[in-house]
Amino acid sequence: MVNNNTRKITALIKEKAGEIGFDLVGISTAEPFYAARKILQERSLSEFIANDIELLTTPDLHLAGVRSIIALALSYASSAVQMQHQEECYISLYARGKDYHKVMAQKMVQLSEFIQKIRPGAKVKAYSDTGALLDRAIAQRAGLGWIGKNNNLINPTYGSYLFLGEILTDLELAADQEIIDRCGDCELCLKSCPAGALIDQYHLEAKHCISYLTQQKGILPEEDRKLIGRNLWGCDRCQQVCPFNQGVPVDRHQQFKARLTGDIQKILSFFKGGIEPAWRDSALFWQGLRILKRNSIINIVNSGNPDYIPLLSREINNPSPLIRAYVVWALGELDYERNKTKLKALYQKEREGIVRAELAKIFAGKNKERSDDND
């Protein structure tokens, strides 16, 4: 039974969260997330979350004595969504403004300090998309929305363009009721996934997701490079088609205003000490400049446009073996005959294994094509 004092404290915290600027706030109990644990045990985990299912689903392992979890959300829905279709490559909406981790962290610090002010000695611990806890499961239990068939949290007012965070506390707060799933028979997200990563309702196979591929480090198989298509960073297709994202409030936070555009030439011109602040302060920079350049090169190949060859040639001596590997692959894909002398000369002097491997595949492929033509 929740007493009046608990209700009063809960109301004060929610009111303050609104003043700070959070669009949604709800309270979850802190029991382990047993249903989510069972699902995770049956599936492969993304490398971007903790590889410890018990840690992911047990709040008490993060804050001893935790009794409540304050679930928080900020909307990043933007009026710039139409502009994205006119650019040479696509950047997911969440990554076009200031890094949401920083924005969420600042606001959660304010709320944590307020909690400790009104209840001195209260314990708090905050997270926002760090992979340590299941943000969406917490938000669902706290009544912020339901988890849709595309695995995103959907709120009836703000849709799924939401950044999520949570504050664990040892205070007893009045928990909110969950919202009933409203997806019904709709399967637009499943049918629209360009990579087929949504293999069933509520089941995302992360290793096939374009958003995941654009963030994965290292050398990608050629089939994954093709899947990326013209996506520079992320993919929003399963959100764009969702009926609950139509007509939602937009541009609620200046920090998330779209500042970045899919400009390949600009990205390839960046060097370690010469990156524009808007790019460095974005969430897409968390994997570093090399991955952005790699994705740009993949986008160039998928465009099939040989006009990019002079731009690519400037990266042929890039100090990163990863970038050189993708550059030689791109030159071979876009116009082998035009670039074969250059590629053969590179093979003679290149010492890095990953670059030589890409060159060897190019030569082997062309030799096979000639052999097939002669048969």
Local confidence pLDDT in tens for the 375 residues of the chain: 679 999 999 999 999 999 999 999 999 999 999 999 888 888 766 665 667 889 999 999 999 999 999 999 999 999 876 555 567 789 999 999 999 999 999 999 999 999 999 999 999 999 998 768 999 999 999 999 999 999 999 999 999 999 999 999 999 999 999 999 999 999 999 999 999 999 888 888 888 999 999 999 989 999 999 999 999 999 999 999 999 999 999 999 999 998 888 889 889 988 777 888 899 899 998 888 999 999 999 999 999 999 999 999 999 999 999 999 999 999 999 999 999 999 999 999 999 999 999 999 999 877 656 555 555
Task: Say which residue the tokens 């097939």 belong to.
Answer: 372
What does the block give as tokens for 113? 């300090």
β-pair partners for 159 = 155
Cα–Cα distance between 24 and 73 in angstroms, integer? 5
Residues ≥6 apart with Cβ < 8 Å to 299: 88, 89, 228, 229, 230, 231, 232, 264
d(CA 172, CA 271): 51
Q: Collapsing DSSP states into helix, strand and coil, what is residue 70?
A: strand
- As a whole number of Å, the CA-based R_g of the chain is 24
Residues with catalytic roles? 129
Whole-angstrom distance, CA of residue 145 vs CA of residue 153: 6
- The letter for the amino acid at 79 is S
Please report, to the nearest 10 degrees, the dihedral formed by the alpha carbons of residues 221, 87, 262, 153 taken in order. -80
CB contact at 8 A, 125 and 167: yes
- The answer to whether 181 touches 156, Cβ cutoff 8 Å, is no
Strand, helix or coil for residue 88:
coil
